[in-house]
Amino acid sequence: MIKLKQKIFGGQIEKVCACCEFGRPSPDEDMILCIKKGVREPSSHCRAFRYDPFKRKPPAAVLPQTEELSAADFSLDID
């Protein structure tokens, strides 16, 4: 039997309550309120973990270093 299930993000998902389908952030966002296990640390997980891709927070974008660039780097020289 062939499994057609595609691994989202390469299958390298870290199991944390903050990304679980059953977890909801508490009002102060310091803890996770889990339907299955109650109040949990955001970095913990349990056997009921089910990944929710909509709760994933992607890493911050790396901005290019523009201090060493000049105006000539952004101009087109057409001869």
Q: Is 38 left (phi over 0), alpha (psi -120 to 50) or beta?
A: left
Q: For 1-10, 13-22, 24-33, 68-77, which range has the lowest pLDDT when averaged over its residues?
A: 1-10
Q: For 1-5, 22-26, 36-40, which range has the lowest pLDDT when averaged over its residues?
A: 1-5
Tokens of 59: 């890493």
- Round to whole Å and give the CA distance between 43 and 16: 5
Domain ranges (residues) in the chain: 12-55
What average pLDDT score do residues 18-47 get? 92
Q: Say whether pTM exceeds 0.75.
A: no
The two beta strands, 38-40 and 32-34, are antiparallel
